Amino acid sequence: MSNALKDLLFKMADDALIIGHRNSEWTGIGPMLEEDLAFSSMAQDKIGHAQALYKILNEVLGEADADTLAFKREEKQFKCCQLVEQPIGEYDFSIVRQFLFDHAELIRYDMLTQSSFQPLAQLAKKVKGEIKYHVMHADTFVKQLGKGTEESKARMQSSLNYAWHFALGIFEKSEFENELISENIFAGEEELKKRWLEKITPIIEAATLKVPVTDESKIIYGGRKGFHSEYLKPLLDEMCEVVRTDIDAEW
Amino acid sequence: MVEQTIDHRQQTIENTVWEILENVKDPEIPVISVVDMGMITAVQLQTSDFRLRTCSITMTPTFVGCPAIDVIKKNIHEEVMKLGFDEVEVKVDFETKWTSDRMKDSAKMKLEKFGLAPPVMLNDDELTEAQLNNVRCPHCHSTDTTLRSAFGSTLCRAIRFCFSCKQGFEQFKPI
């Protein structure tokens, strides 16, 4: 059971850390001050969530401490989905990614409030309240820009189409899927994907955008098994640059 | 009888610990103590031979990624050590979930005076758009205000605008 738990916690923590890092790249360059603050705050939240998950891995499941897990692992050891690794692009891509990712994350945490693994259930109850603000933020802008000008609508649709098959990669199953379900730890990626589609479809429609057509063969898998896009390595190099200058330094 | 005396003594010390914790403020909102915020979830004492051995304090963070946690932990440790314990342990966990409903009414009044609109009660835990409206401006007390951004200068603050006094203000987010 502990390998199944570790796999689940690593993918959640790595998703949060990497999207947190990407969000932080908007600090100072947001299209308006409020958005600069929003992405910076969400970055701080996400990195906090990653830290709390790494702490469970450390304190309950015997893995290394949070800093080691965040800064001293190799690219192939990361279990994040490829959606979160993608560069921030322009604002429309970042907001669409946030919309697709955060809805999945909120539903995942909502499901985990029922988890038989208490440390995760407790954390999930807390984190849920924070991510609600992220989702609210994404929904507001998806609707406003979807219904905005011709240009904003076209940009949103094009980013949605581009991000769609990356987003479906969030739900890549692991070898532990059945174990997680039968042990009542987590109700599974399939269930999560179903609820996610039910949740986001009416919002996309309310934004007068089209839900992209899913082509199963185009879904971008691999992240959960350590296969990443060309963008993760440079991100890790930058994120870990200071730590690597003196790997044993005390902070 | 002796046991009763010890119990009584234990209670008195525990009360003293709660009192001294009033000196520890949230560094981002220096008018409110960690007790007023509802962040302290347990105080446990170990005494023996009428000596203060260890004091264990459990706190629950307002936001998971709150950067002030370590400072608060350190400040709690320093304050409680002043009472003469051999050891003070400060634990952070999520066993009791912090929500803004845990904030005492007196704390909410202090927040408003400080210029920060206090959070509305959530009760059932589900945040709705309606709860984000009808917030009173801490400067002119008008409720004709609107949410500008759910994200502000710290994780716990949102930015609002008051139509009555035409001022921007911050609100402690209901969470």
Residue whose token pair is 């003293």: B16
As a whole number of angstroms, the distance between CA A45 and CA B151 comes to 11
List, by residue range, all CATH 3.30.300.130 domains of chain B.
Answer: 2-92
Which residues of chain B does A44 touch, with a Cβ-Cβ cutoff of 8 Å? 65, 67, 155
Overall domain count for chain A = 1
As a whole number of angstroms, the distance between CA A178 and CA A7 comes to 13
- From the list B64, B67, B151, the residue facing A126 with the nearest CB is B64
Judge whether B132 and B49 are in contact, CB under 8 Å.
no
Alpha-carbon gap: A19 to the closest alpha carbon of chain B (Å)? 14
How much is the pLDDT for B141?
Answer: 95
Chain A interface includes B163 (CB < 8 A) = no
- From the list B64, B125, B151, the residue facing A48 with the nearest CB is B64
Looking only at the bridges linking them, the beta strands covering B51-59 and B87-92 are: parallel
Judge whether A186 and A112 are in contact, CB under 8 Å.
yes
Tell me the mean pLDDT in the region A23-52.
96
Judge whether B7 and B48 are in contact, CB under 8 Å.
no
Chain A interface includes B66 (CB < 8 A) = yes
Looking only at the bridges linking them, the beta strands covering B157-162 and B40-48 are: unpaired
Over residues A91-120, the pLDDT tens digits come to 999 999 999 999 999 999 999 999 999 999
| CB contact residues (below 8 A), chain A span 126-165, against chain B | 126-127, 129-130, 132-133, 136-137
| CB contact residues (below 8 A), chain A span 188-247, against chain B | none
Backbone angles phi, psi at B7, to 5 degrees: -60, -45
Residue B25: beta bridge partners? B33
Cβ density class A118-135: b for 16+ within 10 Å, e for less: ebbbbbbbbbbbbbbbbb
Between B68 and A46, residue with greater pLDDT = A46
Residue B58: beta bridge partners? B42, B91
How much is the pLDDT for B2?
Answer: 52
| Residue A28 belongs to a domain | yes
pLDDT tens across the length of chain B (175 residues): 455 566 787 888 899 999 999 999 988 888 999 999 999 999 999 877 777 889 999 999 999 988 889 999 999 999 999 999 999 999 998 999 999 999 999 999 999 999 999 998 887 667 777 777 789 999 999 999 999 999 988 888 999 999 999 999 999 999 9
Residue of A nearest to B92 (CA): A52
> Which amino acid type is present at position A27?
T
* Structural domain of A14: 2-245
B125-to-A31, A52, B86, B93 alpha-carbon distances in Å: 32, 21, 40, 19
How much is the pLDDT for B124?
Answer: 67
How much is the pLDDT for B125?
Answer: 63
Q: For B2-92, CATH number?
A: 3.30.300.130
How much is the pLDDT for A87?
Answer: 98
Residues for chain A: how many in total? 251
Which residues of chain B does A102 touch, with a Cβ-Cβ cutoff of 8 Å? none
As a whole number of angstroms, the distance between CA B54 and CA A135 comes to 43
Which residues of chain A does B159 touch, with a Cβ-Cβ cutoff of 8 Å? 34, 37
Confidence of residue A69 (pLDDT cuts 50, 70, 90): very high
ipTM > 0.85, yes or no: yes
| Residue A250 belongs to a domain | no
Output the average pLDDT for chain A.
97
As a whole number of angstroms, the distance between CA B70 and CA B92 comes to 10
Which residue from A231, A101, A141, A156 is spatially nearest to B151, judged by alpha carbons?
A: A141
Instruction: Report pTM.
Output: 0.93
CA angle B98, B124, B139 (to 5 degrees): 70
- From the list A123, A130, A132, the residue facing B63 with the nearest CB is A130
Residue of A nearest to B159 (CA): A34
Strands, E, within B66-153: which ranges? 87-92, 116-117, 145-149
Q: How many interchain CB pairs under 8 A, A with B?
A: 67
Residue whose token pair is 């640059």: A241
Q: What is the CATH number of the domain that holds A173?
A: 1.20.1260.10
Counting beta carbons within 10 angstroms of the beta carbon of residue A27, is it exposed (0 to 12), middle (13 to 18) or buried (19 or more)? middle
Number of Cα atoms under 13 Å in the Cβ half of residue A136: 20
Over residues B99-128, the pLDDT tens digits come to 999 999 999 999 999 999 999 888 766 777
Over residues A126-140, the pLDDT tens digits come to 999 999 999 999 999
How much is the pLDDT for A120?
Answer: 97
Q: Does A44 contact B67 at a Cβ distance shorter than 8 Å?
A: yes
Q: Does B173 contact A133 at a Cβ distance shorter than 8 Å?
A: yes
Over residues A144-203, the pLDDT tens digits come to 999 999 999 999 999 999 999 999 999 999 999 999 999 999 999 999 999 999 999 999
